Amino acid sequence: MQYRKDRCGRELSILGYGCMRFTRKGGAIDLDKAERELMAAFRAGVNYYDTAYLYPGSESALGEIVERNGIRKQIAIATKLPHYMAGSRAAIDRIFDEELRRLRTDYIDYYLMHMLTDFAQWERLKSFGILEWIEEKKRSGAIRNIGFSYHGGADQFLKILDDYDWDFCQIQYNYLDEHTQAGVTGLKAAAAKGIPVIIMEPLRGGKLVGLLPEEARRAIAASPRGWTAAQWGLRWLYDQPEVTVVLSGMNSLEMVEENVKTASDARAGELTMEDHELIERVRRSIREKEKVPCTGCRYCMPCPKGVDIPGAFYGYNAMYAESKTSGRKQYAQAVALTREPCFATQCVGCGRCEQHCPQGIPIREKLKEADRALRPLPWRIGIAAARAFLLRGTKADKE
């Protein structure tokens, strides 16, 4: 196993254990199986374990496995505050205390504001005293490092990053998402400030392995490197020294073994020009299935009406490259569940964006098409209900 350092010099294994995807049996986590897999990773040197209040049963399962095996002091636990469920400081305390109980510990090594998607959410947390709360928890030793996980666009990521002295952050990043969400811009900006970056969705939830088009599979199989699709995805990340830990939701011993091997062998800067060309071919073959040739470069942004143009095209493409539900979910997450919605229907047709698009995309026309596909009536109703629930206590937003 290889290690990269956090801000205090603590060595973190470059492979982190994502505890979101433990195998379930009869609705509950299969604890014995999870224990076998988790302890295999531990014995191989994995020392970073990521969970969240909202992953059903995950904190409790991790707490039980860690206690049973007496490994608390040898590992770092990361868990998260579901900020949208916390409308007051008392609520934050309640959630945090419950997390400590579930995890059977009295401190959290890495604590994250879960799933921020825009700066307004961070501002809202500050309005009811999160800064003082963090200070108090750090002073008492109940929290060792504070960070945030992020799913919005790069501009808002940079604002949040610059607004506080974070110990670390967590972003969705993989070779297909190089220019979406925080992307490479966010990664480099965080690294430039000396902030460790934890990577989630390194294989897009397994899609860069299981759902690769035939042409991409053939290109990978023909490469003299002999790497599997998963190894290509992880090695692309480890190639970048700005990446600190890559989380993988491992739920089989084979997966643990393969990922541990990659994390032991991979080296920053090892990918050659030929390797990058292969990844580009794989990307291209994935994108050929796409409806809009948007690369997520964001040259078209910001839109004066707040439309998240790359976010809409990303979701639209995901409907065809992955599945309709997956694309619609990603769209809802990126543009609907932010405090200020950024739906494609907010477009007034000024055309400014089209002057900047290097791909020559007829953005106005494609936005209409995308929104129709991404938000059929049942999804509109569901999104409105989710917004009402998540944003209760903030100003009532209207589409």
When the beta carbons of 306 and 382 are compared against ligand SF4, the nearer one is 306
- Which stretch, 66-74, 81-89, 220-228, 303-311, contacts ligand SF4 (CB under 6 A)? 303-311
Instruction: Identify the residue among 4, 33, 305, 329 touching ligand SF4 (CB under 6 A).
Output: 305
Q: For residue 300, state whether it binds ligand SF4 (rule: CB under 6 A).
A: yes
Question: Which residues make beta-bridge pairs with 3?
Answer: 13
- Per the structure block, which two tokens stand in for 198? 């934890």
Question: How far is the first Cα of the chain from the last one, in angstroms, to the nearest whole number?
Answer: 49
Helix 89-103 and helix 130-140, axial crossing angle in degrees, nearest 10: 40
Question: Mask of contacts with ligand SF4, 361-380, x by CB under 6 A?
Answer: x-xx----------------
Closest distance to ligand SF4 from the beta carbon of 209 (Å): 26
Task: Report whether 153 contacts 311 (CB < 8 A).
Answer: yes
Question: Mask of contacts with ligand SF4, 265-294, x by CB under 6 A?
Answer: -----------------------------x
Cβ atoms < 10 Å from Cβ of 225? 14
Report how far residue 116's alpha carbon sits from residue 337's, in angstroms, rounded to the nearest whole number.
10
Q: Within 323-352, which residues bind ligand SF4 (CB under 6 A)?
A: 347-352
Closest distance to ligand SF4 from the beta carbon of 208 (Å): 20
Q: For residue 297, state whether it binds ligand SF4 (rule: CB under 6 A).
A: yes
What SS3 state is found at 109?
A: strand
Q: For residue 21, state whether it binds ligand SF4 (rule: CB under 6 A).
A: no
Task: Report whether 181 contacts 157 (CB < 8 A).
Answer: yes
Pairing of strands 28-29, 24-25: antiparallel
Closest distance to ligand SF4 from the beta carbon of 366 (Å): 8
When the beta carbons of 93 and 178 are compared against ligand SF4, the nearer one is 178
Using alpha carbons, select from 192, 202, 148 the residue that is nearest to residue 172.
202
Amino acid at residue number 386: A
Closest distance to ligand SF4 from the beta carbon of 131 (Å): 34
Question: Which residues make beta-bridge pairs with 168?
Answer: 147
Report how far residue 122's alpha carbon sits from residue 195's, in angstroms, rounded to the nearest whole number.
18
- Per the structure block, which two tokens stand in for 348? 């007034």
Instruction: Identify the residue among 200, 256, 309, 336 touching ligand SF4 (CB under 6 A).
Output: 309
Instruction: Identify the residue among 249, 296, 327, 341 touching ligand SF4 (CB under 6 A).
Output: 296
Residue 331's H or E segment, with its range, is helix 324-331
When the beta carbons of 19 and 321 are compared against ligand SF4, the nearer one is 321
When the beta carbons of 90 and 350 are compared against ligand SF4, the nearer one is 350
Residues that bind ligand SF4 (CB under 6 A): 294-300, 303-305, 307, 309-310, 313, 347-353, 356-357, 359, 361, 363-364
